[in-house]
Structures are given as C-alpha cells and as structure tokens.
Amino acid sequence: MEVFLIKALQLILSISLLVLLHEGGHFFFAKLFKVRVNKFYLFFNPKFHIASTYDTWVRKLFRMKPEVVPTKENGEKEYIGTEYGLGWLPLGGYCAIDGMIDETNQKLTGDPKPWEFRSKKTWQRLLIMIGGVLVNFLLALFIYSMIMFHWGESYFALKDMSMGMEFSKQAKDLGFKDGDILLGTDQGEFKDFQADLYRDLSTAKRADVMRNGKKVSIKMPGDLNLLEMMQTTPRFVSPYIPSEIDSVMPGTPAAKAGFAKGDKVVGINNYNVATWTQFTNVISRLNDQMTDQMTSEDSLKLRTVMVAVNHKATGKTDTTKVVLTPDMMMGVGMTSLMSYYKPVTVKYGFFESFPAGIRYGLDVLGGYISDLKYVFTSDGAKSLGGFGAIGSLFPATWDWYLFWKMTAFLSIILAFMNILPIPALDGGHVLFLLYEMITGRAPSEKFLIYAEYVGFGLLVLLMIVANLNDVLRWLGVM
C-alpha cells in the first residue's frame, strides 16, 4: 500500500505541475493579447448532484471570485476577471477563454466582442493555441538540462560489458550468440543499453559485435518488429547478469531455505538458470499457469518448486524445495549492472548542461515519434496504458532524479500529443487556424462545434481503452 501511495503521489504532483504550466501557456498569450479568460482550473469540476455541497465549502477554500462590476451596455453585472479554481476530479485542467469553441462548451452569441478570442487576429489566436504546447516542450528541455547540471549523465558503456549479452531465439537465428558484446550497427556505435539500441537494431542492415576478442558483423533484415523485440519473453537482447543473490529478505521463502548473499541460483524445477533473465522467464511461465489454477491446492502445488543453488560459502550445489509466495516471489534481491560494472559519469557546467539537455530531450522525442507507428497495430493497441501504467513508471521510493526525469518525459509527450491535428486538442485548433490563414476563410462555428464533439469523443474512447488495458493487466488477462 505504501508503494502505491508513493507512486500515486508522484503521478499527481507531476501531472498537476504539467497541466498547470500547460494551461498557463494559453493563459499567458491570452492575457498578452487582452483576451478575457473566464476560468483557470487545475483539475476538473463537473457539476453532479453533489454540486451544492461542493459550492458551500470546497469552493470557499479553493476559489477566488474576480471583481463584479456593471457592464457599460445595460448596467447588468458580470465578471470581468478570471475565476481561479481547484477542481475535485484530478484528470487535467482547463483554461476557459472567452469567445472560443472548446471543451468548456460555451455559447457564442451576438457580434464578437473586443475581448473575445474570435475577434483577435489569426496569428494571435495561433499563438494562444500553441502556448500550452510551447511551455511543455520548453519545460521538458529545461528539466533535462537541469538534470544534466545537477546529477550529470551516468550510463554503463556497452563496450565495457565484458560478460556480454544474452539473446532470444529470434536473435540467435540471425547469428547472435550469448556472450557477444554489442558494438553498433551500420547506423552508428552504441553508447549504452537504452531503447535506442532496440530501435537501431530493428532497422539495421548490419550489426557489429565483439566475439571472443574479435569484431564480427551480422547481417540484419532491416525490418524487425520493435514491439516483438522488447515485449517477447525473453527479450531480443539483455545484458548478461549472473543469477547471483544480492540480498535475502527476512521471513521470505529464500530465507527459510537458507539462501544467502553471494549464492547463485542455477536451476528451478527442470530448467537450468544462469542469469536473472532466465530466472525471470521461468517464474513468468509459472505465473502464466497460475491463472488456470482453480483451487488453493493446485496453486500451492504450482508454487512449490525445486530450486538448485550453488552456495558461495561451501562451493556446493544443493536442491531445496521452496514454496513461493502467492505473488510468485522467492524473496531475493537480484544483482544488477551496478554489481559488476562501474558507470561512466559525465559532469556538465551550467551553460554546458543546456545543449546536453536539449540533445537528450530531442532524442527522447525522436524515439517516441518513431515508435508511434506501432500504436496502430493490434499489439500496439494492447500496449497502450492509462493512469495506472503511467503511475507504475515512477519509482517505488521517492527519488527526485527519477521524478524529474519522468516529469520531463511526460512533458515532452504531452506537448507532442497535444499538437496532433485532432479536434479537441490544441493541434486541432491550430489546423483550423492554419486553414483560415491559407484560405482567408474561417470554418463555420457549426463545423467547429461538431468537430469538437468528434475529437472529444475520440479522446474519451482512447482514454477508456488505455485504462481498460490497465485493468486487464491487473487482472492478469493481458
């Protein structure tokens, strides 16, 4: 429960910051061009049957009413400022700009007023619409730059991984062998083990490896499916990390079996194990079978495994019966790259950090854009995730480095997704404004309203699918 709360808090804080600044970008340009902003809200505040309760005390805590004055036209009172508020539904936020057709569903009546969005010049409306995207994009680059300045850039150089990598059957069929050290492809040298490595291998015509001290080139097809490479078990390639126990948690099955730090797991049931990747693959197979178990007896039988361990203290290998926990855990901490290799750390001065951060951010954006083609496949649709999937990306303990890195990633993705030419998104408004600038004719209000409905419906459908995938993964169906 504690892990869930930490992840949830990080997600809410990150999303709140990004939404606040995104809407602030629209707000800034609207005020710059003297466009009235009726409401500025962090989170949504839909009026359900509990609206009266919301108005009585929550609104008093979190809402600031702008000044009310008589209008010049007929003496009636109206708001001339902005209503700032905090909604109760943490799914985003909004900036209600007067005289604009958007998700706030305001009615446009009469002739355009000087303070309305629709009365402004096209280029001014364009800047108001891209303000949020611009802020999110610049924010991401700024955060990446500050990460470079404060923490520097640390990575494990592939060329230094003397134990090499282990490969899937698909990779071995292409000519790779366990223990090969990846050097690069015809597209360039590899720096570290990141998603870019998979992307380069998926489109490469040639891959270079170091095998037994000699450089070997392997012919590649150039059109490998990136999702299959990363999502199949085992993955196309993983760093070779021996199945050496780093720690044993008290009271766990491993502790009861007498396992200790430095021991090596060499087998589970009838499967030989040499690396943690192989260990995880065996446990994953057992976990898949768990969904078919109908009784507690069947579950207990499946969780009872024979584990072969080579003990560091004696050098002997013993096989012990171990009953895994209901969530298929043995209770051991695994060694990692940090256990065997020293990371390369590059430090940047304040001014040096900006070009480094910008390069990193643009590389992240480029990788994300190149992967979008997989969204339109069946496997890609299944890989979509909602708030649960996003929240799971945050660390289980509070880590400011990982928090800011994840926030920067979400910011740059939010910027890109919002600029897509889809009605109801900023990019949809930009598309219609560009059409007006080119043709000199603005789309009719009726068309814009219907386009907004269609775009909003698509977004709601996408959100439902993404969050439904989260639920199905949690239930073990996907």
Of 285 and 356, more confident: 356
Q: How confident is the model at residue 466 (pLDDT cuts 50, 70, 90)?
A: low
pLDDT at residue 61, as a whole number:
46
pLDDT at residue 106, as a whole number:
62
pLDDT at residue 391, as a whole number:
67
| Interstrand relation of 83-86 and 37-44 (parallel, antiparallel or unpaired) | parallel
Residues belonging to the chain: 478
Among 115-119, 214-218, 343-347, whose mean pLDDT is lowest?
Answer: 115-119
**Token pair in block for residue 102:** 């958007």
Among 22-26, 195-199, 462-466, 472-476, whose mean pLDDT is lowest?
Answer: 472-476
Of 417 and 296, more confident: 417
Report the SS3 class of residue 385.
coil
205 phi and psi, to 5 degrees? -100, -15
Percentage of the chain with pLDDT > 90?
Answer: 36
**Token pair in block for residue 306:** 């024979």
Of 242 and 85, more confident: 242
In this predicted structure, the answer to whether residue 152 has a pLDDT above a threshold of 70 is yes
Greatest distance between any 2 Cα atoms in the chain: 95
Among 17-31, 60-74, 122-136, 350-364, whose mean pLDDT is lowest?
Answer: 60-74
Q: In 183-290, which residue ranges form alpha helices assigned H by DSSP?
A: 195-203, 226-231, 253-256, 276-290
Of 235 and 4, more confident: 235
pLDDT digits (tens, 9 = 90+) for 88-114: 777 778 888 888 876 655 666 667 778
pLDDT at residue 50, as a whole number:
33
Instruction: Give the mean model confidence (pLDDT) for residues 268-278.
Output: 91
Q: How confident is the model at residue 12 (pLDDT cuts 50, 70, 90)?
A: confident
**Token pair in block for residue 205:** 């015509």
Of 11 and 55, more confident: 11
pLDDT at residue 36, as a whole number:
85
CA distance 221 to 467: 35
CA distance 191 to 207: 14
pLDDT at residue 105, as a whole number:
57
Among 186-200, 215-229, 288-302, whose mean pLDDT is lowest?
Answer: 288-302
Q: What is the pTM of this model?
A: 0.78
Q: How confident is the model at residue 59 (pLDDT cuts 50, 70, 90)?
A: very low
Q: How confident is the model at residue 142 (pLDDT cuts 50, 70, 90)?
A: very high
pLDDT at residue 233, as a whole number:
78
pLDDT at residue 69, as a whole number:
46
The residues facing 16 across adjacent strands are none
Instruction: Give the mean model confidence (pLDDT) for residues 344-370.
Output: 90
pLDDT at residue 424, as a whole number:
77
pLDDT, averaged across the chain = 82
CA distance 95 to 31: 12
Of 397 and 192, more confident: 192
pLDDT digits (tens, 9 = 90+) for 156-182: 998 889 999 999 999 999 999 999 999
Q: How confident is the model at residue 420 (pLDDT cuts 50, 70, 90)?
A: confident
CA distance 62 to 93: 14
CA distance 241 to 305: 22
pLDDT at residue 62, as a whole number:
45
How many other C-beta atoms are found inside a 10 Å radius of the C-beta of residue 357? Answer: 23
In DSSP notation, 342-354 reads PPEEE---HHHHH
pLDDT digits (tens, 9 = 90+) for 378-404: 555 555 666 666 767 777 788 899 899
In DSSP notation, 235-248 reads -SEEE--B-BEEEE
How many other C-beta atoms are found inside a 10 Å radius of the C-beta of residue 159? Answer: 14
Reduced to 3 DSSP states, what percent helix, strand and coil does the chain have, rounded to the nearest 5? Answer: 50, 20, 30
Residues 6+ apart with CB under 8 A from 165: 178, 179, 180, 181, 182, 237, 238, 239, 240
Burial of residue 86 (number of CB atoms within 10 Å: 0-12, 13-18, 19+): middle
Task: Please give the C-alpha separations between residue 31 and each of 65, 68, 93, 469, in angstroms, as whole numbers.
Answer: 18, 19, 18, 40
Residues 6+ apart with CB under 8 A from 80: 36, 66, 67, 68, 69
pLDDT digits (tens, 9 = 90+) for 18-57: 989 999 999 899 988 888 888 888 877 665 433 333 333 4
Task: Please give the C-alpha separations between residue 105 and each of 97, 113, 302, in angstroms, as whole numbers.
Answer: 11, 18, 56
Cα torsion through 410, 414, 416, 419, rounded to 10: -170
pLDDT at residue 37, as a whole number:
84
